[in-house]
Amino acid sequence: MNLFQVKSFINYIWTARYKKGYGLHSPFVFNLVREIIYCKYPYYAFDRIKTLRNRFSNSLKEIEVIDYGAGSHTLGVKSRRVSDLVKKSSIRIKYGELLFRIVNHLNPKSILELGTSIGISTSYLALCDTRREVVTIEGCPETAKVASEAFKSIGINNIHQITGQFRDVLPNFVAQQNKLDLVFFDGHHQKQATLDYFNICLSKVGNETVFVFDDIHWSKGMEEAWQVIFSHPQVTVSLDLFQFGIVFFKKECQKQHFVVRY
C-alpha cells in the first residue's frame, strides 16, 4: 500500500460496521452479508484455481505487457514476469472466492469482466457454473494469451475472450446485449475511465443487475469515482468492502450505502 491507501484503510477500519450482518435492518443486505460475504464454504473450484495460482507464482516466463490503466504505476516496466503479475495484479484469494460466491448466490445469466489480466479472477467467475458463458475483455494481447493458456490448463471452456481497449470494444459489445446481469470492473483504475465504463454499462442494467468494482480506494480519483457511482440515482444498495465496491439496482429497496467490515 502507498500512503494514500494506508490512510484510506485506516478510515475504512474506523467506519466499517455490520460484521457478519450484526446491526443490519435490511433483509436483502443481511442475507448478502451472511450468505455471500461471510460464507466460508470450501467450494471444489477453489483448489483448481489455487493450483493455477501456484503455477503462475513459480513461473519464470516473461511477457511484454501493454498496460492501459493505472497498474503501470505498480510494476513500472513493460517486460514483466508472470510471477510478478500474480503478486501485483491478480485478485487476492479472499476476494476471488467472494466473486465466486456472488455468482453462485445471485445466479446471473450474463457475466462481463473488464480486465482479464492472466485470468485468475476470470476463473473464479467461470468455474461456478461451466454452462454459463463469461465474457472477459483484456487490452494486452500477450497477457490475454497467457490467460487463454491458463484456462485450457485447468479445463475451463466457458470463457469468451475479447482483446482490445475497453473504450474501443465495450460500447459495441454492450449495445448488442439485452441486459447485463453481472459486470466486474477490474481494469483502467482511473476516475474518468471508470465512470465512462460505468455509464456505458448502466444503459443495460435491470432490477437484478450487480456491478462489482475492484480497487475503489486505489487512489483519490478512484475514491471520487466510487462516490459518484454509489450516489447515482439508479443505484439503490451499495456496499464498500474496501477492496471491492458492490452496487445493486433493485427498485424495491430503499437507497442505502453500507461500509461493511470484511
Per-residue pLDDT reduced to its tens digit, 32-78:
998 999 998 889 899 999 999 999 999 989 998 876 655 444 444 48
Over the range 142-172, which residues count as b (16 or more CB within 10 Å of their CB) and which as e?
Answer: ebbebbbebbeeeebebbebbbebbeeebee
Calculate Rg over the CA atoms of the chain: 17
Instruction: Give, for 223, the enclosing helix (H) or strand (E).
Output: helix 220-231
Instruction: Give, for 248, the enclosing helix (H) or strand (E).
Output: strand 244-248
Residue 235 to residues 1, 18, 127, 131, 184: CA-CA distances in angstroms? 29, 20, 28, 29, 16
Decide if domain 3-58+91-259 falls under CATH 3.40.50.150: yes
- pLDDT, tens digit, 9 for 90 and up, residues 179-192: 999 999 998 889 99
185 contacts 115 by C-beta, under 8 angstroms:
yes
Residue 99 to residues 93, 135, 159, 192, 214: CA-CA distances in angstroms? 10, 15, 16, 25, 11
- pLDDT, tens digit, 9 for 90 and up, residues 223-261: 999 999 999 999 999 999 999 999 999 999 999 999 999
Of 3-12, 59-68, 189-198, the range with the lowest mean pLDDT is 59-68
Reference 99, options 80, 113, 83, 85; nearest CA is 113
Kindly report the backbone phi and psi dihedral angles of residue 67, in degrees, each rounded to the nearest multiple of 5, phi listed first.
Answer: -110, 110
pLDDT of res. 69: 58
Question: Measured on CA atoms in the order 208, 213, 217, 223, is the torsion positive or negative?
Answer: negative
pLDDT of res. 45: 93
C-alpha cell read off for 148: 487463454
pLDDT of res. 92: 94
Length of the chain: 262
For the chain, the structural domain boundaries read 3-58+91-259
pTM passes above 0.85:
yes
